[in-house]
Structure 1
Amino acid sequence: MVKNIFLALVCGLTLPLIGCVTTNSTQIVTPKKYIVDRETYQATGKSERIKSIVLHYTVSDNARSINTLTNGQVSAHYLILDHDDNKIYNLVPESQRAWHAGNGGFAGRTILNDTSIGIEIVNSGIKHEYRDALKNGELDYHPYEHYVEFDELQIKKVGQLVQDLAKRYDISPKNIIGHADMAPSRKIDPGAKFPWQQLYFDYGIGAWYDEFDKQFSMHQDTFAAATIADIKQAFRDYGYQINDSDEWDKASRNVVYAFQLHFRPQQPTGVMDLETYAILQALNKKYADRDDFY
C-alpha cells in the first residue's frame, strides 16, 4: 500500500518531464513523436517510377477477360471492354505493380512490371480459322488479314487513357509500346490491326516516323550496304532487345516481325528489307535526342 502511494507521487512529479505511467508497478516511457517534413528540402535527382505503357489484347471475350484479370495470376492496371458502357476499368492502382508484362525488355529495362502501366483491350487477336496456322507449319508469321479489328470506341478510350497517363508520368513516345515490342519471341499483341498511326496523329501519343525521312532513306538505299550487325545495333538504339548473332535467326526475325506489327502493320513478314530499315532509321533520327535509358 505504502509502495503504491510512493510510486504514484513519483509519477505525478515527473510526468511532465518523461511521461510515465504505472502498470503493475512497471514504469513505461512514452517516446517523443517526430515530424516527417516533406517540404523543407527536396532532391532534384529523381524521376517518375512509371517509365512505359504496355498495350495488350486479351484473346478472349468480356466475361472471360474480367475473370482472368481479376481472379487469375495475371493482371493489368486498366481493362477496356468491347461494348459501349462508357467506362474504362481500373483493376490495379497505378501505385501498385500489375502482372502483365512478364519476361522481356525495352529501352534498357528488363523488368517492366516494376516500371510500367499495363492496359488490356478485349480483342480475339487472331481470327479463329487461322489460329492453328503457325502450329501446323503453314506459315512463319500471321499476316495482316489474320488479325481481328478493334472497335472504334475502344480506340477512343485508349486514346483518352494513354494521353492522360503519358502526360502525368512524362512518358517518352518511344516507351508507349505493345507487348510484342518487349517480348517478341513470346507475344504478338496488340497485333497488326492495332492503329498505332491513328493514335499518333489523332491523339498525339506514341511514336511514329516522318514519311520524308523514310522516303529519303529508301532513296539512299543504305540498307544495301548495312551489315547485320549494323541493323541489329539500329534496333538496339531504338530500344528493342535483339541478339548479336551474325544471322537472321528465328529470335532476330521475331524482333523484325514485332517491329513491323507496330510500324508497318499491313506487311508484317519477319523479313528484314529496305522499307523496314528505312522506317527504323527514320525513327532513330526523329527520337535520337530522347534519353530513355534511365
Structure 2
Amino acid sequence: MSGTQPLKILITGGARGIGRGLFQHFMRAGHSVYVLDANTTELDHIRRTAETWKPSSSASVWKASLCDLRDRSAIKATIEDVKSTFDGKLDVLINNAMATEGVGAGRLMEDNSDEIMEDWDTKIAVGLTAPYLLGRLCVPLLKAGSSAPGSPGTIINISSTRAYQAEDNHEAYSAAKAGILGLTRSMSVSLGHRHKIRVNAILPGWIHVMNERAEADGASVAWEVGLTKEDAEWHPAGRVGRAGDIAKAIEYLIGSGFVTGQEVVVDGGVGRKMVYPEE
C-alpha cells in the first residue's frame, strides 16, 4: 500500500490485541481510523495514546468509541457517527472484534449451566451477527469510498485457524469463526455483483499480542515477553506471529482489486502442537 492515498478505516475491537495493533499500524501510515470497542479501560487508554501514533505531517483523523456489539441499536448509532466523522465515505471495514471471555475457562460442552448458553449467545452475536449487520450498514459508505484504483471500499473479516483446528470446549468460538468464512463468501458475491465491494477473510494463527494492552504499556512490556524458545520452535517459520503480520495481509487485500471471497491464512505453521494460546 506504499504511496497510496490516505484511507478511512473502521476497525472493530480496536482498543486491544490485534485490533489495537492494526489501529497503531494504520495511524502511523497516515490513514484516518475509527475504532470501536466495549472495553472502557482500554478505550480510555488509547484515547490518551493514539495521538502519539499520528505522524506530525498527517492530516488524518481518528476516533475511539464505546460500542457493545451485542446491541444492534448501538451498532446502528455508531455507524451514523462513522458516517459523520468520515463525511459519508469509508474505504475499509475490518470486522476484528470477538468476545473472548470464557474461552478456555474450563467449562465442558456438556455442562448443564446457563452460563454455557450465555457464552454461546455472546460469541455468536459479537463474532458473527455483528459483522453481518456492520457490513449491511456500511454499504452506502463503502460505495462512496475507494480502497483501490477504480474500486469502491472493501470489507475484511478476521476469522481464525480455529475455524478448522478446534480445541476442546471451544464450540462457540470455532462456530463463529467458521461462520465468518461462509459469511465472507456469501457477502463477496452479493456485494460484488451489485456494488463491486470486495469481501475477504483473514485466518490468523498464533498471534502474540500480550503487549497490545494498557497494562503492558504501563509496564513497558516488550513484544516477546511471555514467549519461550519452544513457542518459536513449534512453528516452522521460527517464530510466533505479530499484529504486524496481520496488517501486511490486510494491506495486500486492500490493494488487490481482483481478490474477493478468499481466505488468507496468516500462520507460521504449527509442527508439533495444534492448540494455540489465546490471541
Q: Which TM-score applies when normalising by structure 1?
A: 0.31
> Greater CA radius of gyration, 1 or 2?
1
Q: Which TM-score applies when normalising by structure 2?
A: 0.33
